[in-house]
Structure 1
Amino acid sequence: MKVSVQVNSYYNNEMSKKLLELCRDITGLDAVPGFDDDAEIILFSGRPVPGKKTKFMQSLSAGVNHLDFSKIPDNIIIASNADAYSIPVAETAIGLMLAWARKICISNYNIHNNNYKRLDYKEYVSLYNKSLGILGYGGIGRRTALIAKSFGMNIYAYSRSYKNDGISSYMEPEDIMKKSDFVLISLPLTKETANSINDKMLSLFRGLAIINVGRAGVVDRNSMLNFLRNHNDKYYLTDVWWNEPIINENIPDNVIITPHSAGMSDNIYQPAVAAIENIKNYINGKPKNIVKRSDYI
């Protein structure tokens, strides 16, 4: 067997070479850079091109909503890299929540601009005994819940395959929006979840801030922008934005945003190892994280 390693510009030459080395070391297979018509397996980021012998495609990213499934034959198995980025993404979710609650961003800005002042004490929010509702209780959601629980937060969670872990309580999405001080969006972008956080859902929200470390498209753009415009006391804390990296509109003041960097860390190759280990699982007949095409097309 041969592995075709097809990666986008995010991976520089040094990183691409490391991926090839890891792939060869972990799988024991010949790994070649770029498209190869004879490769049975593809390790990819971005939009890969399957060859005539391709049987299995392994994503380096957790999400696969960017794929053009119409160009990938039905007989090819596709696997995501679900949960591989859970730790840094969960840390970012908590970081965004703390940055807003403890007024870190505005305090830093003020002092850098020679304005040393404290806000009114009511502006500073303690996470203790607040509620965190999680929409999408997969690896990211569970990891965030674990950290938030250590702060003394009450955890509500929703997923299609929810399993009680002793940390969270199950709630339907509408109830999560109604009853949570903070709502975390860590849903994958599928045909079911696209624009699911819309006017109706946002009208139920009575809490403090909504955090998105999933995909921008899970939230309806116009609904969120209108909601923020009409509720300047509510905040949107997000790692993703519509049409990123090109952002044409003025970002509202009640937004704290990072440049889709939640999954990045000094352990840059750890997620890649997880993806390559799943190639080994495929070779052994037991691949994980198989993508359901029906979720996307």
Structure 2
Amino acid sequence: MEAITVLQTNPINSYLEQELDKRFNLIRLWNFPADQKEDLFKEEENKRDIRAVVTNPVVPTDREFIDSLPGVEIVSSFSVGLDKIDLGYCKEKGIRVTNTPDVLTDDVADIAIGLILATLRRICESDRYVKAGLWKKGDFKLTTKFSGKKVGIIGLGRIGTAIAKRAEAFNCPISYYSRSQKPESKYKYFPSVVELASDCQILIVACPLTEETRHIINREVLDALGPKGFLINIGRGPHIDEPELVSALVEGRIAGAGLDVFENEPHVPEELFGLDNVVLLPHVGSGTVETRNAMADLVIGNLEAHFNKKPLLTPVV
């Protein structure tokens, strides 16, 4: 393959970076100071030579960014989420877009179940209890059972379905909300998130982030979930109106929350830090060595397929 210049927007994964370096002329955008980044995009040679962008949901691939690189033919995202990429504008400009679905489904579904168990059974708090030497002074308080709880899932795609299958193993009745009812699904469908929240004890957010799903978890939904209900989010931070969630937790209007994602990552509302009924993770749903390597392989495979004029492995646009 000819020497093709690829721009990586930010540090993502060391294995990915190494493999890109082997195959392409890799430009690491984060190594350029702010003033030099402007020079990079101003130079006609650079603008023309950069034919691919590798990115993830941290850095927006918006209209301005796309226009700054007129030679780009493909954007390969190290993520299943596409909310930071202007897909419509990429399509208009004839730029291909790929992501990394399927390979991270199991890990994200596993972390959802882990968050449920950690939140309901107070696993993190129990760990601190033992390490602080408090067990010698008395037994830990009773917690809440997971098995048999009614589970509601927002979004019954690959990840939502994988979560549902795992929850079934805990004898949990499953219901869901999505844009449209899925005739092939055996789970109970609700036409609104409020109705779903009213009927379940554990509400899980597992849908893509779009304008329609931004703040899909609002005060009305939290109140419908109620003081015995738990919220789990492994989707995207902006799915939740965070100030409303903080209020609901502080005031006891819901029982607890397990969160892997936040609206302004890595910034997390500090009001959550002192709450024992909340489990906070640093967006690690797909964070295993095996899955991140598989995601990297998909990114590279899509780039190689594009430049070898073969069908893309996971095309979006």
TM-score band by shorter chain is 0.7 to 0.9
Question: Equivalences for 1:269-284 in 2 at 5 Å?
Answer: 269-279=293-303, 283-284=309-310
Alignment partners' CA distance in 2, 1:159 and 1:196: 12
Matched, 1:189 2:213: no
Q: TM-score, normalised by structure 2?
A: 0.77
What pairs with 1:11-160 in structure 2 (closer than 5 Å)? Answer: 11-12=13-14, 15-21=16-22, 24=23, 31-34=24-27, 37-45=48-56, 46-47=59-60, 50=66, 51-67=69-85, 74-75=92-93, 76-116=95-135, 117-121=138-142, 123-125=143-145, 127-160=146-179
Match of 1:257 among 280, 284, 302: 280
**What letter matches 1:52 in structure 2?**
P
2 CA distance for matches of 1:233 and 1:53? Answer: 51
Q: By how many angstroms is 1:241 displaced?
A: 2.1
Aligned sequence identity (%): 24
User: Is contact 2:103–2:295 with CA below 8 Å preserved after alignment?
Assistant: yes
Structure 1 segment 1-20 matched on structure 2, within 5 A? 2=4, 4-12=6-14, 15-20=16-21
Distance across 1 between alignment mates of 2:90 and 2:217: 30
Residue by residue over 1:212-232, the C-alpha shift from the partner in whole angstroms, topping out at 9 and shown as x without a partner, is: 011111111222122112226
Contact 1:38-1:52 at 8 Å conserved across structures: no
* Paired residue total: 280
User: Quick one: which amino acid aligns to residue 43 of structure 1?
Assistant: V
TM-score scaled by structure 1? 0.82
Asked whether 1:234 is paired with 2:255, we answer yes
C-alpha contact (below 8 Å) 1:7/1:16 kept by paired residues: no
Distance 1:32 1:47 in 2: 22
Structure 1 unaligned regions, length at least 5: 25-30, 292-297
Distance 1:43 1:72, change over 3 A: same
- Residue by residue over 1:66-87, the C-alpha shift from the partner in whole angstroms, topping out at 9 and shown as x without a partner, is 3467985832232333344222
Q: Does 1:290 align with 2:316?
A: yes
Match of 1:63, as an amino acid? G
Alpha-carbon separation, structure 2, partners of 1:3 and 1:160: 40
Instruction: Tell me the CA shift for residue 62 of structure 1.
Output: 1.7
Looking at structure 1, the residues matched to 260 and 178 of structure 2 have their Cα atoms a distance apart, in angstroms, of: 21
Which residue of 2 is the match for residue 294 of structure 1? none
- Structure 2 CA distance for aligned equivalents of residues 162 and 189 of structure 1: 19
Decide whether aligned partners of structure 1 residues 233 and 138 sit closer, same or farther in structure 2, where only a CA change above 3 A counts: closer
For residues 124-181 of structure 1, what are the alpha-carbon distances to aligned partners after superposition, in whole Å with 9 as ceiling and x for unaligned?
A: 31x2221111101222211111211112111112223553555533222222111111
TM-superposition CA deviations, 1:47-76 (whole Å, max 9, x none): 455532323222111222234679858322
Structure 2 counterpart of 1:284, which letter? Answer: K
For 2:152 and 2:201, the matched residues in 1 are separated by 8
Amino acid at match of 1:32: N
The answer to whether the 8 Å contact 2:153/2:175 transfers is yes
| Matched letter for residue 310 of structure 2 | N
SS in 1 for 2:188: strand
Relative to structure 1, the CA distance from residue 63 to residue 249 in structure 2 (aligned partners, 3 Å threshold; closer, same or farther) is: same
Residues 205-224 of structure 1 correspond to what in structure 2 (within 5 A)? Answer: 205-206=225-226, 207-224=228-245
Q: 1:100 to 1:80 in 2, by over 3 A?
A: same
Structure 2 residue matching 1:264: 3-state secondary structure? coil
The match for 1:247 is 268
Bigger radius of gyration: 2
More helix by share: 2
Against the structure 1 CA distance between its residues 277 and 163, is the aligned structure 2 distance closer, same or farther, given a 3 Å change threshold?
Answer: farther
Which ranges in structure 2 are unaligned for 5 or more consecutive residues? 30-45
Determine helix, strand or coil for the equivalent of 1:184. strand
